[in-house]
Amino acid sequence: MRHHLISTHTLPAARSSNRIANHTIADHHGHGEPSTPRTANKTHQQPTMGKEKSLPKFAAKKQRHDPLHKQILRDTVVEGKVKAAAKGKRKNDDDMDDDETFLDAKTSKKILDIAQEQQRELEEDEMQAQRPSADRAPLKTSVFGTAAMASDSDDDDQDAMSQMGDTEANWDGGNDDILDVDASELAVLEKFFPQQPKTRQTLADIIAEKIAAFEADAEQRAARPAAVDSPDFMNPKVMSVYSKVGKLLSRYKSGKLPKAFKIIPSLSNWEEVLYITRPDQWTPHAMYEATKIFVSSFNPKMAQRFLNLFLLERVREDIQSTKKLNYHLYMALKKSLYKPAAFFKGILLPLCDDNCSLREAAIVGSVVSKISVPVLHSSAALMKLAEMEYSGATSLFLRILLDKKYALPYKVVDAIVFHFLRFKTDARDLPVLWHQALLVFVQRYKIDITTEQKDALLDLIKFKGHYAITPEIRRELANSTPRGGGVSALASMDVEMVDV
């Protein structure tokens, strides 16, 4: 108790001593004199020279910023609010712009004129629909009896095939600029066709004969067991397997082909095995896939055999039955042209030899016009076509190949000149296709012909002329410099004739 009283009485004295110490420190600071406070244990620190050591800042001050995760959270919230506000403001501005947008008088007048023109066209169509059928204007007839021939675009083969799916697109003969002949020209062309065309076997007839020959041969070999080991013998299991492959190909649309079919190009008797699968019953999709396999696997001679026996007959049958060509068969023709020698020897030249129709020539010609062909193969094909007996298909193929503007050898140019000159004594009227082929030849190769050939062509067009094409041919020849560099006497006469 006494001890407690002593401590109680000493408290005011301690407080008064603290006040005196504080006043003393303030006075010293006010006069700029350094001083150090006394600690609780009454240890006095002597002043030192140099800068005074200060207490750590983090112990004396508050934190400058919030923790990083709070700052990120706050910035995200504020940025979202700002973007939302800007978006709303932009939307309001667009609405105001839309409300304030208007058209000037000139644009409004154009829109009204277009609307009135469309209204007049609709009224004319309605009036024409109300007329009797006898009063309507007849459609323009072409070689195929239709108003026009639709063109099929082929920019990307694989993309187009994927878009086709299971549907079948048909190609009906090309563009009007490839072939457009009226009824009178068709009558002229018919004079150049043989009066008694050759009887042509269909692919089904050929396959039926081959199968019958296989069966007869199998019966004969069954009677002679010693011949079973010969290479020409067809195993019954092989015939059974490929008969089932043929059934699969008759309903094939897409997907992988059987492995038994893919190994056919490696067989020595591939032709006999292929007949067992009945190619005449394949779908167009299967024919396209088979063409890709055989053309890529065979050499040109064997590919020519496949194209001539199977693809050409299938294409001609499809054109004859449907008056147009299936899209996948058209793509098969394009794939076959990647072996140019096989294509020309297996499809184009046999087609011209076997009474080719203008529809078939237009379709095959469109394939040739879309694919780049090597110069040597084109030159050989032009020479063969120039030596053939004339038909409308020959002129069409000549015009398409000449229009590729290849640098042809002089031997080929001379053969084409002689091809045209031999018609000078022909009493028949020549069709427009012949004149068109001559015009294209003169336009592309007028500087590659000799002076004598130029004079002969100028003399030819005096006997064989066309009211619209011949003046253009004469103008091209008159304004050209021949291969020898000489001046033609007939050219100057023709120039005077044109001027008059």
Q: pLDDT (tens digit, 9 = 90+) per residue, 220-275?
A: 555 544 333 334 457 889 989 999 999 999 999 999 999 999 999 999 999 999 99
Length of the chain: 500
Q: What is the residue-level pLDDT of the chain in tens, covering all 500 positions?
A: 444 434 444 444 444 444 444 444 444 444 444 444 444 444 444 444 555 555 555 445 555 677 877 878 777 765 555 555 555 555 555 554 444 456 677 788 888 888 888 888 888 877 777 765 444 444 443 333 333 333 344 444 444 454 444 444 455 544 445 555 666 666 655 655 555 555 666 666 666 676 667 666 656 555 544 333 334 457 889 989 999 999 999 999 999 999 999 999 999 999 999 999 999 999 999 999 999 999 999 999 999 999 999 999 999 999 999 999 999 999 999 999 999 999 999 999 999 998 899 999 999 999 999 999 999 999 999 999 999 988 899 999 999 999 999 999 999 999 999 999 999 988 888 999 999 999 999 999 999 999 999 999 999 999 999 999 999 999 999 998 888 765 554 444 443 333 32
Where residue 322 falls (left for φ over 0; alpha for ψ -120 to 50; beta otherwise) is: alpha
Measure Cα distances from 35 to 20, 47, 49, 56, 85 in Å.
14, 7, 13, 19, 59
Q: Is the pTM of this model over 0.85?
A: no
Do the beta carbons of residue 413 and residue 445 sit within 8 Å? Answer: yes
Q: pLDDT (tens digit, 9 = 90+) per residue, 359-387?
A: 999 999 999 999 999 999 999 999 999 99
The whole-angstrom separation of Cα 49 and Cα 96 is 75
Q: Rounded to 5 degrees, what angle do the CA atoms 125, 128, 132 make?
A: 155
Tokens matching residue 173: 């003969």
The whole-angstrom separation of Cα 334 and Cα 346 is 14
Tokens matching residue 147: 């108003």
pLDDT at 488: 52
Helix, strand, coil shares of the chain, percent, nearest 5, are 65, 0, 35
The set of residues, in sequence order, having a beta carbon less than 8 Å from that of 412 and lying 6+ positions away, is 379, 382, 383
Phi, psi of 291 (to 5 degrees): -65, -40
Give 140-165 as a DSSP string. PP-TTSSS-------S-HHHHHHHHT
The whole-angstrom separation of Cα 363 and Cα 381 is 17
The set of residues, in sequence order, having a beta carbon less than 8 Å from that of 28 and lying 6+ positions away, is 34, 35
Q: Where are the alpha helices (DSSP H) in 250-326?
A: 259-262, 270-276, 284-297, 300-306, 312-322
Phi, psi of 37 (to 5 degrees): -70, 155
* Closest of 370, 375, 350, 371 to residue 360, by C-alpha: 350
Contacts 24+ apart (CB under 8 A), 157-162: 157/331, 157/334, 160/327, 161/328, 161/331
The whole-angstrom separation of Cα 290 and Cα 199 is 28
Do the beta carbons of residue 416 and residue 379 sit within 8 Å? Answer: no
The whole-angstrom separation of Cα 479 and Cα 492 is 10
Do the beta carbons of residue 328 and residue 154 sit within 8 Å? Answer: no
pLDDT at 228: 38
The whole-angstrom separation of Cα 441 and Cα 428 is 22
The whole-angstrom separation of Cα 102 and Cα 115 is 19
The whole-angstrom separation of Cα 418 and Cα 399 is 16
* Cα R_g (the chain), whole angstroms: 47
* Closest of 148, 138, 137 to residue 180, by C-alpha: 148
Do the beta carbons of residue 396 and residue 433 sit within 8 Å? Answer: yes
pLDDT at 189: 59
CB atoms within 10 A of CB 232: 10
Q: Where are the alpha helices (DSSP H) in 172-256?
A: 183-190, 203-223, 236-249
Do the beta carbons of residue 166 and residue 251 sit within 8 Å? Answer: no
Where residue 323 falls (left for φ over 0; alpha for ψ -120 to 50; beta otherwise) is: left
